Amino acid sequence: MSQPENRRILVIDDNASIQADYRKILGDGRESGPAGSEARSAFFGEPAPAATPAGCQFELESAYQGEEGLARVREALAAKKPYALAFVDVRMPPGLDGVETASQMFALDPDLQVVLCTAFADYTWEDLGRKLGKSDRLLILKKPFDPIEVVQLATALSEKWNSARRERQNLAEARRAEMEARAYAASIATVNHALEAAHASAEATSTTKFEFLGRLAAVLQESSTALHASLELACEPGQNEQSHRESLETAGARCAEICNTARNLALQSSLDLDALQPAYLPYSPGALLDEVVARWRERAQARGLHLTAECRGALPLAVRGDAQLVGGILDALVDNALRFTPSGSVHLTLRLPLRDEGEEPALLYSVIDTGPGIPLEAQASAFEAFVHEAGWGSRGQGAHFSLNTARRLMRFLGGNLELESAPGAGCRFHLHVPAGDLAGVEFALHPQAALPSASEVQQASESR
3-state secondary structure 106-128: HHHCCCCEEEEEECCCCCCHHHH
By CB neighbour count within 10 A (0-12 exposed, 13-18 middle, 19+ buried), where does 298 fall? middle
What's residue 35's pLDDT? 46
Task: Indicate the class that CATH gives domain 277-463.
Answer: alpha beta
Give the CB-side neighbour count of residue 299, counting CA atoms within 13 A: 22
Q: Identify the three-state secondary structure at position 345.
A: strand
- Residue 204 backbone dihedrals phi, psi, to 5 degrees: -65, -45
Q: Which amino acid is at 453?
A: S
Q: How far apart are CA 105 and CA 230, in angstroms?
A: 107
Among 459, 279, 428, 283, smallest CA distance to 365 is for: 428
Cβ contacts of 8 within 8 Å, gap of 6 or more:
58, 59, 61, 76, 81, 82, 83, 84, 85
Distance (Å, whole) CA 228 – CA 102: 108
CA-to-CA distance for 109 and 98, rounded, in angstroms? 16
Q: Give dist(CA 313, CA 426) in Å, integer.
A: 25
Cβ neighbour number for residue 178 with a 10 Å cutoff: 10
CA dist., res. 369 & res. 371, Å (int): 6
Cα–Cα nearest to 141, from 256, 290, 11, 295: 11
Closest CA to 46 of 144, 148, 141, 150: 148
Contact 367, 429 (CB under 8 A): yes
**Bridge-partner residues for 62, per DSSP?**
11
Sign of the Cα torsion 63, 68, 69, 75 reads negative
CA distance 336 to 329: 11
- At residue 436, the pLDDT reads 86
Taking the alpha carbons of 160, 161, 162, 165 in that order, is the dihedral positive or negative? positive
The dihedrals phi and psi of 438, each to the nearest 5 degrees, come to: -100, 10
Question: How far apart (Å, rounded) are the C-alpha atoms in residues 381 and 352?
Answer: 29
Residue 344: the pLDDT is: 92
CA pair distance 298, 326, nearest whole angstrom: 21
Amino acid at 109: D
Mean pLDDT by 10 residues, the chain (464 residues): 83 92 77 46 44 63 93 94 93 88 91 88 73 81 86 92 91 91 90 88 72 68 79 78 78 75 69 72 92 91 91 90 91 88 93 82 94 84 61 40 79 90 90 90 66 45 44
**DSSP secondary structure string, 170-187?**
HHHHHHHHHHHHHHHHHH
Supply the pLDDT for residue 432.
Answer: 95
Distance CA 120, CA 91 (A): 9
404 within 8 A of 383, measured Cβ to Cβ? yes
Name the β-bridge partners of 12. 63, 88
Q: Report the pLDDT value the prediction gives residue 4, as an integer from 0 to 100.
A: 84
- Domain 8-171 is of which CATH architecture? 3-Layer(aba) Sandwich (3.40)
Q: Could you tell me the CA-to-CA distances from 286 to 312, 447, 454 in Å, in that order?
A: 10, 5, 9
Half-sphere exposure of 371 (CA within 13 A, CB side): 28
Return the pLDDT at 118.
84
**What is the rounded distance in angstroms from the CA atom of residue 255 to the CA atom of residue 248?**
10
